[in-house]
Structure 1
């Protein structure tokens, strides 16, 4: 047991990802054995041994650590190396000018390019746009690190707000015989959803020695420094942001019981127990949640919850005694619950009385992320000498675009 609990801290031989997966599978098998013992204790004595509960909590930490390790290794595998070779070809006029600005603060090249393209409202006071390749790299890293972005539809816009029309009522339709008259139908009633892009910023720091090192790809360095900061902030906003200077999270919209659902609100299913699952038939609320979603949305649906909620869900079994939660089938793949993928989002609330701790839906159809084209960098060598700060900004928005595609599980009596 002690060897298992220390496994995520040890260095493993190559291939590391397969070793991490093996450790995770071993940990989950141990977890299931411990849980069977815990359930037998509850059946026999009415309560589990506190030492057994503590063992279960420790195993939860092991499983979470193994999964985090697999995710980290997969992210590192996809990430390009920081260094470059001396024979690497130049990356274009903008890339060369931007590298000169980041390394030495030389902005003449960027000013000339922006004057040539007749761009306005930019300059040393507002920073300069990063090269297109760097912007794309930041976007790829955010997709790997930001859980809701990885599930949602992402659209790049050139204006400050993306407006999407939708029909509140469609045209009248009906059946008619071959020679019968066709009465004129009513026109559809249109409304629109607006998704404004808000400013998100990060401020990585570097030493001048690092910037002077010709073996360091400064554009890759910058992308690597801002990706985790951007991902953490936008990940929280996509879940619970209030829409004021940030995106509107899917938990921020009005919520209503699924039986009274209407457009503009998010439907929920209650567990029937305040702050937990029912003592008997504990999996029933999850089944109700799955089937609250229409069939067309279930095909690409996923669960979203934080790791502490996952720890509670791992104990649940179906009527045949099979566990509902299963580990990832391979490196870079998600765990699954009842056959649907589980996306871990730490911004989701913990299980508690009245908490909406689990979301389920087709987030690609249900949630929209809008990125304003352009990532801007302002070089600041003065505020934190001897370090050089890079005030990096991008504009991001988000919100629900289809209120029928996302459902919530409320841990409450009703």
Structure 2
């Protein structure tokens, strides 16, 4: 099996060849052979990306990927650091000596069970945030706000894209033109990982980095549900997603149930006021990216340009593509592509609300298991709805 590094090198190599082909052709009309060659590069790139995604998915499912050993509970004449205290709590719960119990209490602020167990120290909270960023795509493009509390917060809004001034003659009073303001709420919600059950032997195995193991499991679940809500959340008892908050800028012509035409993408791009386009990006499902990678303009040139540098985005019509698999795949009436200044979507995290609890009750103990659950408080909303427009596939 190809390693991820080899696959990344393949992507970079084929991307360079594809970019060189585009550069060499310039404004010339592409021949069928040249288009077939470019499509071949695109297929290789998309295939390698899919392979990387599959490998990473399998690694997520393998418990043996974790590495650093946490000190066993009986070693501790020296002061106990906060991360070690967290590991002790995860491994042994309350079955520790008095010094270790005090260290756990100092490292993890005690809250009531209703509020979610123990508030984790900053180092573990940072690990959770890093894990949240690794899934979905919305945290890569949105503006992240961290607030001290979860109190109600409203932001003023005003769309001035249609406002214009005037010419006035001497001694003539200027016409009134008051600005209309609105408000957009940015409430937060308490997210839970749901309880997870893990074998007692695995948690107590000193060869396992128990913090990374448990945080990975808890944060991954929270990350997936948050990204789903930040993308298509209804706004009722959950955040309002960027797709939900945005208006349609272009509807595909009849027959575009599972496709999009070059001219429709151009129309979508220009449906966004140019004041927002300097910082604009496309956002779509990875399957949509694969479909668009073979689109050409009116003279046969590809409009999708693969990234050469690892970590850099592919380009579509000269604008970056943000991949978000919670955006709908192309289908009848699907809102499958977003374009605009995606940073106008704001994600609000409440600081010091990442909590964790270990469960040792009979529901787990009789099966030789330990239960864990994690919580955090967050929300999101598109603060400027004029900044983003959507492409909607045709109904038939």
Q: What TM-score bracket applies, with the shorter chain setting the length? A: 0.7 to 0.9
Counterpart of 2:86 (choices 71, 95, 98) is 98
Equivalence for 1:163: 153
Counterpart of 2:227 (choices 235, 240, 246) is 235
Equivalence for 2:323: 344
What is the TM-score with the length of structure 1 in the denominator?
Answer: 0.72
1:98 Cα deviation after fit: 2.4
- Distance in 2 (CA, whole Å) between partners of 1:95 and 1:145 is 24
Paired residues of 2:42 and 2:294 also in contact (CA < 8 A) = no
Equivalence for 1:214: 206
What is the TM-score with the length of structure 2 in the denominator?
Answer: 0.75
1:250 Cα deviation after fit: 2.0
Equivalence for 2:263: 284
- Distance in 2 (CA, whole Å) between partners of 1:236 and 1:129 is 25
- Distance in 2 (CA, whole Å) between partners of 1:404 and 1:91 is 55
Structure 1 residues 354 and 184, CA, compared in 2 at 3 Å: closer, same or farther? closer
1:307 Cα deviation after fit: 2.5
Equivalence for 1:151: 141
Question: What secondary structure is seen at the aligned counterpart in 1 of 2:358?
Answer: strand
Paired residues of 2:15 and 2:308 also in contact (CA < 8 A) = no
> How do residues 195-274 of structure 1 correspond to structure 2 at under 5 angstroms?
195-202=186-193, 203-253=195-245, 266-274=247-255
Structure 1 residues 125 and 341, CA, compared in 2 at 3 Å: closer, same or farther? closer
Equivalence for 2:305: 326
Aligned residues: 362
Structure 1 residues 348 and 39, CA, compared in 2 at 3 Å: closer, same or farther? same
- Distance in 2 (CA, whole Å) between partners of 1:210 and 1:18 is 36
Equivalence for 1:130: 120
1:310-363 deviation line (CA, Å, top 9, x unaligned): 233122101232111122212222222112121222222222232211111111
Structure 1 residues 20 and 411, CA, compared in 2 at 3 Å: closer, same or farther? closer
Equivalence for 1:48: none
Paired residues of 2:259 and 2:330 also in contact (CA < 8 A) = no
1:225 Cα deviation after fit: 1.9
Structure 1 residues 102 and 409, CA, compared in 2 at 3 Å: closer, same or farther? same
Structure 1 residues 81 and 26, CA, compared in 2 at 3 Å: closer, same or farther? farther
Structure 1 residues 346 and 22, CA, compared in 2 at 3 Å: closer, same or farther? same
Paired residues of 1:20 and 1:69 also in contact (CA < 8 A) = no
Structure 1 residues 161 and 67, CA, compared in 2 at 3 Å: closer, same or farther? farther
Paired residues of 2:200 and 2:370 also in contact (CA < 8 A) = yes
Unaligned ranges ≥5, structure 2 = 21-30, 60-64, 96-100
- Distance in 1 (CA, whole Å) between partners of 2:278 and 2:18 is 30
Question: What secondary structure is seen at the aligned counterpart in 2 of 1:220?
Answer: helix
Matched, 1:312 2:291: yes
Paired residues of 2:232 and 2:244 also in contact (CA < 8 A) = yes
- Distance in 2 (CA, whole Å) between partners of 1:159 and 1:245 is 19
- Distance in 1 (CA, whole Å) between partners of 2:106 and 2:41 is 57
Larger relative contact order (CA 8 Å, sep ≥ 6): 2
- Distance in 2 (CA, whole Å) between partners of 1:252 and 1:224 is 29
Equivalence for 2:281: 302
Q: Aligned-pair RMSD on alpha carbons?
A: 4.3
Unaligned ranges ≥5, structure 1 = 1-9, 30-34, 41-55, 254-264
